[in-house]
Amino acid sequence: MEIGSREALREAVVRGLGLGVVSEAELKLVLHPVAEPLVSHAKPATLAFLIGPEGGLTDAEVEQAKGNGFHAARLGPRVLRTETAPVVALAVAQQLWGDF
């Protein structure tokens, strides 16, 4: 599912659309700046990230994601731009756990 705008992302999260695509992932993480650090999770066999739009996900959206099996995690003390967060998330995961 391609989500091309902030409004479309919010709609997808609120309605749970597209979250089934990652239902097979052993560890599903929603990135949030006030969550537990990524390092607090054990190495999964498979991994999926939910990364919000500029301005971040609302608390309700994070709770909706958690209701769909996601765990909140943060990458560090900084809030990252939407376009850099995926690269950083994958780099940190690979540094922590190696190749998948």
Digit-coded pLDDT (tens) for 64-95: 889 889 999 988 888 889 899 999 999 999 99
Domain boundaries, the chain: 6-97
Q: How far is CA 19 from the centre of its chain?
A: 11
- What global pTM score does this model have? 0.75
Q: From edge to edge, which strands make up the β-sheet containing 71-73?
A: 47-50, 27-31, 71-73
Q: Where do runs of H (alpha helix) occur along 27-74?
A: 59-67
pLDDT at position 19 is: 58
Which CATH number is associated with domain 6-97? Answer: 3.40.1280.10
What are the pLDDT digits (tens) for 7-37?
A: 666 666 666 555 565 677 899 999 988 889 8
pLDDT at position 78 is: 85
